[in-house]
């Protein structure tokens, strides 16, 4: 097949997500505007799809490829072939009708804007599945359908059934989604690619791979859970607690068919083996019979249709499992027909419920006299579901029976035909019951509400689908014959001989099976009363109860395990992690081969020995005096300074400057934080426990040291050579470290400043929480355990910090400007400026400094992140990746030639974020200190200890 690329294919997938932005706003204008705001996106996508359909009908494949993470195999590739066109048309076409139907179905009490937002999110996720040409991207959309369907099923969250149905659907389909992720990864590994168009050409390699069996099992688990195949069928009926538009869309036309689409999409490479046949065909056959048997005896209209959906999904799964091209063709044809008649049936059931205020079949009957339009539409589509001639359901049912009639199971040629005929018989029975027990019979006088046909807007959508069912049933070849051929070719990845659709095929075994099914269905309806009593008396496993018991058991088991493991003791967690890690490393070392490294080591000098001894000594001092928090903090600062000297020794001045400034800032902030904590911690561990901890820590330390030694003594090529060679020509800077931070790995830096800003905001939020409630009362009445000097702000320190302030600011600006070519940069400059400001606050008091330096700390963080983001986005306008810097040289007389780079703007964002984060943390701690009375004018010696009695809480 030929391909052509078109960017509008990605636009089709994006339009529903864009459309999801408007309903929540347009509902303020009115319900019609809200519905139109959702409908325009769907209609626009449908029009674009129609434009591409002409190319697909010619046998072409429309593609759009966008490399996202090619090294990981994750690409935003889209593909539209016959199979994708079929499902995309169903998703958008039925979606447009559902939008119209929901406008009249939902009451004024229902938040319509919210409903359409959820609906459009789901529509976009489904389109993403069927248009994806990358299995990893398909999995992302797959999971998004589970999340958005959870919102739709639980839309009526005031009902317990709605909430439970949503949780059940998410649990089952979410479990299948996890299995699907594993299966897709294995499939991509077996095929050597994650692009679907390439995978479909690797049938022999995939089926010969040892990964075929586990990949097939995991992929089928994902498909079966999504398409409600036995034994995972139970979630679908309970999802009927959702509004009828949701049921008509998700559970007849779209979501439950995602699993069918997956099996059809991967049919060319996964089918044709015995494992595929027995797993897929058997599961589908059992699901078809079980679902149909349950559907007959359901008294709730939507429950009957839900189990009938389960049955028909099983029918399609069985056809795909047969593994023949004819069966695959019949499967996709029944997908078309089932979508048409089942969506219409759900809508008619919703109309009945909407007008009569009940879905109980036992309280209905005779509605043909009171609701003639609804009765006509329901009868046509129900008879189509039963497989009555001159309706579309008859055609695909005949093809199914034809394939079943000559398919053997375990060497027997009667198992599948008999069970398929039984399934068709039961299908006819529940279809006849839907018509006979709801619309036929005498008019009753005890309806919960007086029935009547709804407005045109509510029955227009099912009317259109009913007309389609009749037209396709009478003129099959003229309406869908050629399209079915295009879809079948795409599904099987073969050029099939065109199959002519016709109503009469002569006297065939399939015709006999069909007659038996129709007569059997009428017989079951005639004998329904005694059969219903027998069914009610039969012991049946309740899937809902089994699921709830399983969930409750898992919850209790997980709770016990969690309570035993997560008891709040950090030493226990670290001990478990350390022991497991060391054990895994020891096993890997002992079971593998080990050869010493050949890379030469550096000759140590006396300075190296002194530094190592000091570092070891300070570390051991920290372990010895760990209960003295203030002393330990000072020792940790010494450790940091020694590490910075090591960085200088190893020619890493940028890291040394960063280490020193970070140590100073964290030391000051931690000193302020320790002010609110006891200066000593009690001895908590026994000698035996400390001995155990020392053994675990020692083993972990030795293991890390050995791993570091093994890596550093081996010759291997790193990416540093690339950075050194390209820092100047690509990034415009001679300081390789800074070019890495602002260009090559600017995305990492961007993420880090976001995290830094979030951390500062969280500190502020926690401080806000401490300022309210009982915590605030305790702070107000708290008496510190140490007395303070009367000289709160020593004059020597005040004078020194004020003299150093302009010098420090100038140094910060200098470091900022030189950072692209010499040691420095926005991060270090931000820390230097923050230290200068910190010293002002520390020396003269927060109140004094705040009066003279008004800094919008929150705004600094926001502007910093925003400037960094805008700088990165600017690269897109030059067709370059995010955060790729540009630079140039300029000469403005009398100034000599100088360089300007966009990296300076990014560094400015880093600078602002760092200053804002540090100062916001200081501000938060200062507010707490002032709350305890430690302001410039209030001494902690003025506290009244008797005030502690005012708080009689147990936490005093």
- φ/ψ of 85, rounded to 5, equals -65, -40
Give the start-to-end residue ranges of the domains of the chain.
Answer: 272-526, 597-680, 733-956
Calculate Rg over the CA atoms of the chain. Answer: 36
The Cα–Cα gap between 464 and 844 comes to: 79
What residues contact residue 611 under an 8 Å CB cut-off, 6+ apart? 642, 645, 646, 649
Cis peptide before 162 (omega within 30 of 0): no
If one counts every other C-beta atom within 10 angstroms of the C-beta of residue 204, the result is 9
Strand 61-69 and strand 3-5: pairing?
Answer: parallel
The Cα–Cα gap between 330 and 512 comes to: 18
The Cα–Cα gap between 429 and 835 comes to: 82
Residue 664 β-bridge partners: none
pLDDT for residue 430:
94
pLDDT for residue 791:
62
- C-beta separation of 377 from 344 below 8 A: yes
pTM confidence score: 0.72
Q: How far is CA 277 from CA 216, 289, 320, in A?
A: 12, 18, 9
- Helical pair 392-405 and 415-436, crossing angle rounded to 10 deg: 160
Q: Map 767-824 to HEC letters.
A: HHHHCCHHHHHHHHCCCCCCCCCCCCCCHHHHHHHHHHHHHHHHHHHHHHHHCCCCCC
Burial label for 328, CB within 10 Å (0-12, 13-18, 19+), is buried
The Cα–Cα gap between 122 and 150 comes to: 10
Residue 901 β-bridge partners: 887
DSSP H/E element including 901: strand 898-901
| Torsion angle in degrees (nearest 10) through CA of 440, 446, 448, 449 | 70
> What confidence tens digit (pLDDT) does each residue in 502-553 have?
888 778 888 899 999 999 999 999 999 899 888 888 877 777 777 778 888 8
pLDDT for residue 320:
94
Strand 887-890 and strand 74-80: pairing?
Answer: unpaired
The Cα–Cα gap between 254 and 236 comes to: 13
pLDDT for residue 930:
63
pLDDT for residue 947:
35
10-residue stretch averages of pLDDT, the chain, 956 residues long: 75 92 86 90 93 87 83 82 92 92 87 91 93 92 92 84 85 91 93 90 91 94 91 84 87 84 93 92 94 91 91 94 91 93 92 90 89 93 93 91 89 90 94 92 85 88 93 91 89 80 83 92 92 85 76 86 76 82 86 79 85 88 83 87 88 89 87 75 73 85 87 82 86 87 87 90 80 66 58 76 87 89 88 87 74 77 91 83 81 76 88 90 75 43 34 34
- Helical pair 8-19 and 112-131, crossing angle rounded to 10 deg: 160
DSSP state of 604: P
DSSP state of 69: E
If one counts every other C-beta atom within 10 angstroms of the C-beta of residue 627, the result is 14
- Helical pair 325-356 and 301-322, crossing angle rounded to 10 deg: 170
Q: Map 921-942 to HEC letters.
A: HHHHHHHHHHHCCCCCCCCHHH
What residues contact residue 122 under an 8 Å CB cut-off, 6+ apart? 145, 148, 149, 152, 249, 250, 254, 255
Residue 534 tokens read as: 């027998």
Residue 264 tokens read as: 């059809």
The Cα–Cα gap between 469 and 455 comes to: 22
If one counts every other C-beta atom within 10 angstroms of the C-beta of residue 909, the result is 24
pLDDT for residue 783:
59
What residues contact residue 296 under an 8 Å CB cut-off, 6+ apart? 304, 426, 429, 430, 433, 524, 528, 531, 535
> What confidence tens digit (pLDDT) does each residue in 541-592 have?
777 777 778 888 888 888 888 887 777 777 778 888 888 888 888 888 888 7
């Amino acid at each position: 097949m030929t391909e052509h690329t078109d960017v509008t294919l990605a636009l089709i997938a994006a339009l529903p997500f864009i459309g999801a932005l408007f309903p929540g706003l347009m509902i303020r204008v009115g319900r019609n505007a809200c519905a139109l705001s959702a409908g325009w996106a769907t209609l626009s996508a449908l029009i674009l799809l129609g434009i591409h359909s002409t190319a697909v009908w010619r046998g072409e494949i429309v593609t759009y490829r966008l490399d996202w993470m090619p090294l990981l195999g994750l690409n935003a590739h889209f593909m539209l072939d016959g199979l994708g066109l079929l499902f995309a048309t169903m998703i958008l076409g039925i979606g447009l009708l559902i939008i119209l139907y929901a406008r009249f179905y939902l009451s004024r009490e229902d938040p319509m804007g919210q409903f359409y937002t959820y609906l459009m999110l789901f529509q976009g996720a489904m389109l993403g599945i069927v248009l994806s040409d990358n299995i990893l991207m398909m999995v992302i959309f797959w999971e998004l359908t589970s999340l958005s369907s959870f919102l739709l099923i639980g839309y009526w969250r005031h009902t317990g059934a709605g909430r439970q149905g949503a949780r059940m659907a998410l649990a089952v389909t979410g479990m299948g989604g996890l299995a699907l992720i594993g299966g897709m990864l294995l499939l991509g590994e077996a095929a050597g690619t994650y692009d679907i168009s390439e995978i479909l050409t690797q049938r022999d390699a995939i089926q010969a791979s040892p990964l075929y069996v586990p990949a097939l099992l995991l992929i089928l688990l994902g498909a079966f859970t999504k398409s409600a195949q036995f034994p995972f069928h139970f979630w679908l009926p309970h999802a009927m607690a959702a509004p009828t538009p949701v049921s008509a869309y998700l559970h007849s036309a779209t979501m439950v068919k995602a699993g069918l689409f997956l099996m059809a999409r991967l049919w060319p490479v996964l089918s044709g083996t015995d494992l595929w046949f027995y797993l897929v065909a058997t599961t589908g056959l059992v699901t078809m019979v079980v679902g149909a048997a349950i559907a007959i005896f359901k008294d709730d209209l939507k429950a009957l249709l839900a189990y009938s959906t389960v049955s028909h999904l099983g029918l399609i799964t069985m056809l795909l499992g047969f593994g023949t091209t004819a069966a695959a063709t019949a499967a996709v044809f029944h997908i078309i027909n089932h979508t048409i008649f089942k969506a219409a049936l759900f809508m008619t059931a919703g109309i009945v419920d909407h007008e009569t205020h009940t879905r109980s079949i036992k309280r209905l009957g005779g509605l043909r006299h009171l609701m003639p339009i609804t009765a006509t539409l329901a009868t046509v589509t129900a008879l189509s579901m039963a497989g009555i001639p001159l309706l579309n359901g008859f055609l695909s049912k005949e093809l199914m029976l034809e394939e079943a009639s000559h398919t053997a199971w375990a060497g027997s040629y009667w198992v599948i035909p008999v069970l398929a005929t039984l399934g068709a018989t039961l299908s006819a029975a529940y279809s006849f019951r839907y018509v006979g027990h709801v619309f036929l019979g005498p008019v009753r006088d005890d309806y919960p509400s007086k029935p009547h046909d709804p407005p045109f807007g509510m029955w227009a959508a099912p009317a259109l689908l009913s007309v389609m069912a009749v037209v396709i049933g009478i003129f099959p070849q003229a309406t869908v014959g050629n399209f079915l051929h295009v879809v079948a070719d795409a599904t099987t990845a073969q050029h099939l001989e065109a199959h002519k659709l016709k109503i009469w095929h002569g006297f065939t075994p399939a015709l006999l099976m069909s007659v038996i099914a129709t007569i059997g269905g009428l017989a079951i309806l005639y004998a329904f009363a005694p059969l219903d009593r027998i069914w009610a008396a039969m012991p049946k496993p309740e899937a809902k109860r089994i699921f709830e018991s399983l969930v409750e058991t898992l919850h209790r088991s997980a709770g016990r395990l969690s309570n035993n493991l997560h008891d709040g003791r950090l030493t226990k967690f670290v001990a478990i992690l350390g022991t497991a890690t060391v054990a895994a490393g020891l096993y890997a070392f002992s079971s593998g081969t080990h050869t010493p490294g050949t890379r030469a080591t550096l000759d140590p000098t006396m300075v190296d020995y002194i530094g190592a001894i000091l570092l070891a000594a300070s570390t051991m001092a920290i372990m010895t005096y760990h209960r003295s928090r203030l002393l330990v903090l000072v020792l940790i600062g010494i450790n940091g300074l020694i590490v910075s000297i090591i960085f200088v020794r190893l020619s890493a001045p940028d890291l040394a400057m960063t280490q020193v400034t970070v140590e100073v800032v964290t030391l000051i902030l931690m000193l302020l934080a320790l002010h609110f904590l006891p200066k000593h911690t009690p001895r908590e561990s026994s000698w035996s426990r400390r001995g155990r901890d020392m053994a675990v820590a020692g083993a972990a330390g030795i293991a890390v040291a050995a791993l570091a030694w093994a890596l550093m003594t081996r010759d291997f090529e790193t990416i540093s050579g690339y950075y050194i060679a390209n820092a100047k020509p690509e990034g415009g800077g001679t300081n390789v470290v800074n070019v890495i931070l602002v260009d090559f790995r600017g995305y990492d830096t961007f993420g880090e400043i976001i995290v830094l800003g979030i951390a500062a905001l969280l500190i502020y939020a926690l401080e806000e929480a401490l300022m309210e409630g009982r915590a605030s009362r305790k702070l107000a009445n708290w008496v510190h355990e140490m007395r303070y000097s009367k000289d709160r702000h020593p004059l020597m320190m005040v004078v020194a910090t004020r003299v150093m302030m302009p010098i420090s600011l100038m140094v910060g600006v200098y470091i900022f400007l030189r950072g692209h070519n010499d040691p420095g940069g926005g991060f270090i400059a931000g820390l230097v400026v923050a230290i200068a400001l910190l010293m002002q606050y520390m020396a003269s008091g927060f109140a004094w400094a705040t009066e003279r330096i008004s800094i919008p700390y929150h705004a600094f963080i926001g502007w910093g992140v925003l400037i960094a983001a805008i700088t990165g986005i600017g690269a897109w306008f030059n067709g370059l990746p995010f955060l790729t810097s540009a630079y140039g040289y300029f000469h403005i007389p009398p100034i000599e030639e100088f360089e300007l780079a966009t990296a300076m703007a990014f560094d400015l964002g880093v600078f602002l974020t760092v200053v804002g984060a540090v100062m916001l943390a200081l501000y938060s701690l200062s507010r707490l200190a002032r709350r305890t009375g430690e302001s410039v004018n209030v001494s902690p010696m003025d506290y009244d200890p008797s005030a502690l009695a005012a708080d009689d809480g147990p936490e005093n």
